Structure formats: structure tokens, C-alpha cells
Amino acid sequence: MKLFGNAVIGQSGGPTAAINATLAGVIRGAMLSREIETVYGSINGLEGILENRLTELNGQFQRKECFDLLIQTPAAALGSCRKKLKDPEEDPETFRLLFERFRAANIRYFFYIGGNDSMDTVKKLSAFASSGGSDWEMRFIGVPKTIDNDLFGTDHTPGFGSAAKYIAVSVQEILRDCSVYTVPTVTIVEIMGRDAGWLTAAAALPGRISGKAPDYLYFPERSFSYDAFFGDLKEALSLHPNVVVAVSEGIRLSDGTYVGSGAQSGVADVFGHRYLAGTGKVLEGAVRETLGCKVRSVELNILQRCAAHCASKTDWDEAFSIGREAVTAALDGGSGIMVGFCRESDNPYRVSVTSSDVSQIANRIRCLPDEFINPSGNGVTEPCLDYLMPLIVGEPETVWRQGLPVHFAIDQSVFRPREESKS
């Protein structure tokens, strides 16, 4: 049962404000275990293993302060990649090379922190190993990470809580900003979420605290109708002058085309280049044209995924703990699994740790359930807010210096296994 050797950790996919808290948890768990000797970080995810770019982490984390600073640093400290593995039948060479690298560095444990695509990688590597593709014994563990909250196998994903908090805080501030003038104005806030409306739903959270929330929300889970949209806006404008709506970037018309793609086909810049102006900009133009009132759009953009200065303490605590749980699961003999959370109760908020077969998780998208969206499709329900609320709670104590948060940089100097340096 016990498997002695080294471990490698990789980070993959888009950045989050909590992905390094998970990294810190895995490093800490691995450093405390008797079975794991050296903990390597793979620079740029799977690419780092293939290209022999590993860095040794044990020596860099001898003090608690290093963990604390890593936790408060946004975006993958080991770098990331978007590499997707093909099937071993299609690309046997890559699998052969990966296991050669593992063997050369005596790596027995592989932890991959990421979303759907990363779980696909874990699935393929563990299936290859367990089906006898290699005689090198290893354990492959997926650790969830995505601001989109669209992974199966967990109640929610680390990184989502902090993104949801950033959105809720920013929308609450935008609502106040918009309230100061008396001229009728529509403000459209565009929020990330190509396929699922979880992040857009978080824009409703200020209503629970301050009683002020966006008038309407629009999700990718419901097809978007301009008629219904203009009807909503007219009704809101009849009640008060400062109308604010939030839209997912991925909303689509009933024929399946993205609302934002209208711009892609119809808009050209000064160079004649056609580009995606963004869902918010397209709706801004449509409102100006149709309602004629003052209108603006605000795209929250990449700060949604990297605004660690506004992180959720609940999210960071959970992200760290799920990293440690991933190590425990591996030491217990698990492989081809992803660790996750199971919600025991909303209030008081309580979760337990679960693990699931990655083949049930990879390449699938978990959308907002019907009971979280109101019957008109333009807002959330109370159970949705009950679900979201605990995830943004708590402000972590972060270290600032001269007015800015302190970030931690992992020394990415490459370690070369002995076998490699010979060649």
C-alpha cells in the first residue's frame, strides 16, 4: 500500500485567486508525509514535465511565512498551460515520454490543479497506468480549480468563492456609483461564464446585504431574447432612473449564436479587422439604438479571476485544505480521482470532503440548476442565494507593503534529475 518516492504538482487552465492556496496545501501535505521525499513543481503544467522544467519546492517552503504569502498570491505561481493530452493510441510518444520523465525523477505522485481539461489529463494518465501502459507505479490525483464553478464532483470549486466575492463587491460599488445621477441610465455589467451562469448569479448577492441588487440577470442557461430584454429594461426604467443589469458573456440567442458574436461578424475596427467587441458592448449598442437612453457597459474582465486583494477567506481556507486532502487521498492509495466538497448544510455552513472518479468529471459542464433561476429566467431564487452566500464570507488577513499586497514568486530554477543531466 505504501508507495515511497517523489511528487510533482502542476497547475493548469486559467488563473484564479485561490489556485496558489491549493498549491500551498498540496506542498504542505506532501512535505509532512513520510512517503513523499522531494516535492517538485512542474513549470507550466504538463509542459514542464515534458520539457524537463521541474523546480524543487521543499527548500523554498521552510518557513510558514512563505506559505502565507503564496496563498495570497493570485494566478498560477508555477505557471499554467492549455495543453490537452490526446488518447494514448493517437499519441503514444507523449505518454512514453511522460512516464520516462516520471521514472527518471522517481516521481510516484502526480497532483494536477485545474478544471475540466486538467481532469481529462488525470483521467488519461491514470487509465494509461492502470491498463498496463507503463510498469511505473504512480498515483494521479485531480484537485479542482476554476472560477466558473462548473465542475461536477464537488459542491463548488476553489477559486469560485473569491471570484464571486469580487463580483458581488464590485457590483455593489457599481450600484452606488450609478445611483448618484437623476438622468435615466442603463448600466450593463458583463461577467465571465461562457457556458454557466454561476458568476453572474453572484451579482445578486448585494441584495441580501444592502437591499440593492441589479434589476435583472441574464444567464447562458436560458436563451436570450432582445424583446424580453427591452421589456425588462422599460419596466425597470419606469420604476427608477438607474437601471443596472448583469449578463454572462456567454448568453446566446434562441438559434444558438452568441449575443457577443453579433459584434464579431458586424464590427470592424479602423484597420478593417473584425473582432469580438464583447457581449456588453453589443447590448450597449442595442439599448442605445432601441431605447435611446444613456447606456454604458462595464466588463469586469480578468480581474474576476485574479483579484486576490478581495478574496474570500472561506475560499482560501477551503482551497488550502483541499490541497492537503488531495495528498491524503493519494497516500491512502487513491488514483484517477478528484477530491471535492459535499455541502452538508447552508446555515450553518458545513462541508465534508469527497472524492470522485475523474472519468465522471472530465469534459462535462455543470450549469446552474433550474431551481436556482427564477421562472422568468432573468434573476435568481432564494435557494441560489442561500447556496452562494457562505462562499464569499470572511476577509483574510493579508500582508501589504507600501500600499500593495505582497506577492510570492516561486524560484523557477530548473532542477535536472541525474539521468537527464547525463544525456
Residue nearer to its own copies on the CB measure, 96 or 208:
208
Q: How far is the CB of 74 from its own copies (least distance, A)?
A: 5
312: contact with its own copies by CB under 8 A: yes
277: contact with its own copies by CB under 8 A: yes
65: contact with its own copies by CB under 8 A: no
Residue nearer to its own copies on the CB measure, 143 or 331:
143
Q: Of the candidates 269, 345, 348, 423, which one interacts with its own copies according to CB under 8 A? A: 269
Q: What cell was used for 58?
A: 521543499
Q: What cell was used for 115?
A: 478544471
80: contact with its own copies by CB under 8 A: yes
389: contact with its own copies by CB under 8 A: yes
Q: Of the candidates 130, 179, 363, 413, which one interacts with its own copies according to CB under 8 A? A: 179
Q: What cell was used for 128?
A: 494509461
1: contact with its own copies by CB under 8 A: no
| Options 30-38, 103-111, 119-127, 385-393: segment touching its own copies (CB under 8 A) | 385-393
Q: Of the candidates 281, 321, 325, 331, which one interacts with its own copies according to CB under 8 A? A: 281
Catalytic annotation present for 120: no
414: contact with its own copies by CB under 8 A: no
Residue nearer to its own copies on the CB measure, 217 or 300:
300
Residue nearer to its own copies on the CB measure, 394 or 417:
394
| Options 95-103, 142-150, 228-236, 261-269: segment touching its own copies (CB under 8 A) | 261-269
Q: Of the candidates 137, 173, 344, 371, which one interacts with its own copies according to CB under 8 A? A: 173
Question: Is 175 exposed, middle or buried, given 0-12, 13-18 or 19+ CB atoms closer than 10 A?
Answer: buried
Q: Of the candidates 407, 415, 416, 420, which one interacts with its own copies according to CB under 8 A? A: 407
Q: How far is the CB of 83 from its own copies (least distance, A)?
A: 11
169: contact with its own copies by CB under 8 A: yes
Q: Output the CA–CA distances (angstroms, integers) from residue 376 to 228, 232, 364, in the order listed.
A: 9, 10, 26
Question: Of 129, 23, 113, which is closest to residue 71 (Cα–Cα)?
Answer: 23
403: contact with its own copies by CB under 8 A: yes
Of residues 96 through 155, those in contact with its own copies by CB under 8 A are: none
Q: How far is the CB of 413 from its own copies (least distance, A)?
A: 16
271: contact with its own copies by CB under 8 A: yes
Of residues 29 through 58, those in contact with its own copies by CB under 8 A are: 44, 47
250: contact with its own copies by CB under 8 A: no
Of residues 321 through 380, those in contact with its own copies by CB under 8 A are: none
Question: Is 143 exposed, middle or buried, given 0-12, 13-18 or 19+ CB atoms closer than 10 A?
Answer: buried
Could you give the CA distance from residue 10 to residue 412 in angstroms, rounded to a whole number? 13
Residue among 117, 120, 148, 150 flagged as catalytic? 148
Of residues 186 through 225, those in contact with its own copies by CB under 8 A are: 205-206, 208-210
| Options 22-30, 110-118, 228-236, 257-265: segment touching its own copies (CB under 8 A) | 257-265
- Write the secondary structure of the chain as one string of H (helix), E (strand) and C (coil): CCCCEEEEEEECCCCCCCHHHHHHHHHHHHHHCCCEEEEEEECCCHHHHHCCCEEECHHHCCCHHHHHHHHCCCCCCCCCCCCCCCCCCCCHHHHHHHHHHHHHCCEEEEEEEECHHHHHHHHHHHHHHHCCCCCCCCEEEEEECCCCCCCCCCCCCCCHHHHHHHHHHHHHHHHHHHCCCCCCEEEEEEECCCCCCHHHHHHHCHHHHHCCCCCEEECCCCCECHHHHHHHHHHHHHHCCEEEEEEECCCEECCCCECCHHHHHHCECCCCCECCCCHHHHHHHHHHHHCCCEEEEEECCCHHHHCHHHCCHHHHHHHHHHHHHHHHHHHCCCCCEEEEEEEEECCCCEEEEEEEEHHHCCCCCCCCCHHHECCCCCCECHHHHHHHHHHHCCCCCCCEECCEECCCCCCCCCECCHHHHHC
Letter for the amino acid at 127?
A
298: contact with its own copies by CB under 8 A: yes
79: contact with its own copies by CB under 8 A: yes
Q: How far is the CB of 273 from its own copies (least distance, A)?
A: 5
| Options 108-116, 147-155, 367-375, 391-399: segment touching its own copies (CB under 8 A) | 391-399
Q: How far is the CB of 50 from its own copies (least distance, A)?
A: 12
Q: How far is the CB of 36 from its own copies (least distance, A)?
A: 25
Q: Which residues are catalytic?
A: 148
